[in-house]
Structure 1
Amino acid sequence: MNWAGWTVVAMVAVTGGWMLFDGLHALVTGDFVTPSSGTHAGRLGPWADLVSGIGLDPRSLLVK
């Protein structure tokens, strides 16, 4: 595999790893990882607006 293929594999592994960690964190502690300070403190990412738009609570057990 060439360097571009390994780059894609690494990016997918990092993204998937974070999603796994954040999802497990949410199930164990009751909430997703969010910034603790700044303008986005306590807010979920842009995906939460999309989930809310289809009528689901982004912090619900179903979404976790």
Structure 2
Amino acid sequence: MGIIRSCFSLIAGTVFGVYLAQNYQVPNLKKLADTAMLQAKQVEERYRKSKKKGRDNDDNYD
């Protein structure tokens, strides 16, 4: 009885998720995450500071 009680929320969530996926248009989260990562990379490249020529390390002020 203990294993059924401890796994009830997992089983109920799985059944509910299957029901939603079959009966409603659930967006593809992997595709959505890939699109978000692509946009984040584009923003990073656009606003990245450029390296100064002739200096290997900005912390070294010899």
The answer to whether TM tops 0.5 is no
**TM-score of the pair, normalised by structure 2:** 0.40
Structure number having the greater helix percentage: 2
Larger relative contact order (CA 8 Å, sep ≥ 6):
1
After TM superposition, the score normalised by the length of structure 1 is 0.39
